[in-house]
């Protein structure tokens, strides 16, 4: 049986990566490693967190039709490598894509059966606390990221593609909810 494609989107600071990792462990899914032209942070590793590419390399992937979807976000390209994802799906493995809204729209068009989920921050104060907790940005940057996160949620609502909205109030709760959503979709018990 084909694996399921699971899309997780959410604004910066909502804890997407942590939720995605936990979810992958719980349901035995593969997390797709994206290509990007943004600079790696000191903690990130090529081939583990992203494939860090030059714009030329990325544009060649676009030209060669190697990307399942891609988008430009905050001045950088981000995209999903089609072959790897398709191989996993064909082998019956579920694949999680942690991607932003424009990319999720593309996925929805190509894979109408994908499970498309948006992760929401519990409230504004908590979002600011999480953005501040990263401790790498000054106040103006945090404010900008906060405004940006709010705008992203609005954009996601307008996109009309997210079937499930999960509030990340607590890691285990959020993961539990998503596990139930995936189970429901996979057993066909998914009234729209
Ligand atoms: P970051 O730079 O914080 O790692 O990611 C920025 C945004 O790009 C996040 O919303 C993340 O989900 C999204 N993103 C990461 N990989 C991809 C991808 O392959 N395609 C798309 N469309 N967005 C991605």
CATH code of the domain containing 120: 3.40.50.300
Q: What is the pLDDT of residues 87-96, one digit of tens each?
A: 999 999 999 9
Residue 10 Cα, ligand 1 centroid: separation in angstroms?
Answer: 10
The residues, any chain, with a CB within 8 Å of residue 119's CB and separated by 6 or more, are 8, 9, 10, 14, 15, 16, 19, 166, 167, 168, 174
Q: Which domain holds residue 10?
A: 5-187
Q: How many domains does the chain have?
A: 1
Quick check: CB of 168 below 6 Å from ligand 1? no
Q: Does residue 192 fall inside a structural domain?
A: no
Q: Does residue 160 fall inside a structural domain?
A: yes
Quick check: CB of 146 below 6 Å from ligand 1? no
Q: What is the pLDDT of residues 136-165, one digit of tens each?
A: 678 888 888 889 899 999 999 999 999 999
Rounded distance between C-alpha atoms, residue 83 and residue 67, angstroms? 8
């Amino acid at each position: 049986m084909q694996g399921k494609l699971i899309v997780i989107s959410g604004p910066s600071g909502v804890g997407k990566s942590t939720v995605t990792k936990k979810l992958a462990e719980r349901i035995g899914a593969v997390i797709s490693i994206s290509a990007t032209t943004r600079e790696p942070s000191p903690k990130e590793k090529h081939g583990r967190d992203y494939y860090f590419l030059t714009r030329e390399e990325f544009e060649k992937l676009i030209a060669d039709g190697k990307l399942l979807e891609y988008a430009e976000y905050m001045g950088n390209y981000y995209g999903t490598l089609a072959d790897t994802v398709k191989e996993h799906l064909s082998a019956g493995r579920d694949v999680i894509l942690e991607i932003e809204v424009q990319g999720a729209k593309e996925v929805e068009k190509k894979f109408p059966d994908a499970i498309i989920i948006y992760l929401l921050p519990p409230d504004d104060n908590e979002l600011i606390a999480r953005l501040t907790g990263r401790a790498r940005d000054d106040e103006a940057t945090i404010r900008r990221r906060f405004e940006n996160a709010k705008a992203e949620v609005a954009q996601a609502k307008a996109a009309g593609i997210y079937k499930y909205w999960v509030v990340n109030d607590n890691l285990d709760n959020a993961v539990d909810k998503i596990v139930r959503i995936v189970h429901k979709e996979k057993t066909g018990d998914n009234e729209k």
